Amino acid sequence: MSKNTISTINQMKTAGEKIAVITSYDAGFTEQIEQAGMDVILVGDSLGMVVQGHESTLPVTVADMVYHTANVMRVSSRTMVIADMPFMSHGTPEQALDTAGRLMKEGGAHMVKIEGGAPQLDTVRHLTARAVPVCGHLGLMPQSIHQLGGYRVQGRGEHEGERILKDAVALQQAGAQMLVLECVPSVLAAEITQALDIPVIGIGAGPDTDGQVLVLYDMLGITLRGKPSFVHDFLADKGSISEALSAYVRSVKEGRFPGPEHTFS
């Protein structure tokens, strides 16, 4: 089977085929994820919480991300792999280029993900002009958790929703080729998905995005600090990791996940 690329993922959006995305941080899980038929793997800085035991993603380093991305890439044969750019690794366009270079050259990532809207536009333009594929990230941004005041739904007010929509369009215009929307009202997520030509992947953003992503440990029910309300425990339903992963892929593809209980209004 051929390897997924950004072209493959774009074709899925055009065809209306849902995109299944999961986080992974090591070779063992990645092998099972591949066998389940996942479309995209995100090597998330969520590893700071679920693997390293930190209270947030902020302590994660570039070296951590390179190490875990390389672990995933050693066994990934068909999934497209995106690597997070960790906190304070992209303060300037030049620093961001150095970070992205390491994630792609040493880690092997196909794309990098960067949190933020308007303040990141120059950085996104700088990266994409130099052949670095970029995935944006709007809504709840874990790297900004102290600024946001906690893990809470974003974009509920009219002004805030308009700002997120404006940022999404601007990121696409700056060259971003994919977007993650986290913890926003489903109506706003649907509006953004319709407004953009690039694939939009939701997490706690309702059923109308082009695809869904979950943290691997969350959907297996082994989250350290409690399961987020937008997560379903697929392992509890199936009893084995391989069956849980396959069930997640099927549920996303068939539009059964997320359900109303996993969405915000």
Convert the pLDDT of each residue in 217-239 to its tens digit.
999 999 887 788 899 999 998 98
162 is catalytic: no
Provide mean pLDDT across the span 96-109: 98
Question: pLDDT-based confidence at 1, cuts 50/70/90?
Answer: low
Candidates 182, 243, 254, 261; catalytic one = 182
Band of residue 2 on the pLDDT scale cut at 50, 70, 90:
confident
In SS3 terms, the chain reads as: CCCCCHHHHHHHHHHCCCEEEEECCCHHHHHHHHHCCCCEEEECCCHHHHCCCCCCCCCCCHHHHHHHHHHHHCCCCCCEEEEECCCCCCCCHHHHHHHHHHHHHCCCCCEEEEECCHHHHHHHHHHHCCCCCEEEEEECCHHHHHHHCCCCCCCCCHHHHHHHHHHHHHHHHHCCCEEEEECCCHHHHHHHHHHCCCCEEEECCCCCCCEEEECHHHHCCCCCCCCCCCCCCHHHHHCCHHHHHHHHHHHHHCCCCCCHHHCCC
Burial of 253 (0-12, 13-18, 19+ CB in 10 A): middle
pLDDT band per the 50, 70, 90 thresholds, residue 152: confident
Enumerate domains of the chain plus CATH numbers.
6-166+176-262 (3.20.20.60)
Q: What does the pLDDT average to over 148-160?
A: 78
Instruction: Encode pLDDT of 19-46 as tens digits.
Output: 999 999 999 999 999 999 999 999 999 9
For residue 154, what pLDDT is reported?
87
Confidence class for position 251, pLDDT limits 50, 70, 90: very high
- The model's confidence at residue 194, banded by pLDDT at 50, 70 and 90, is very high
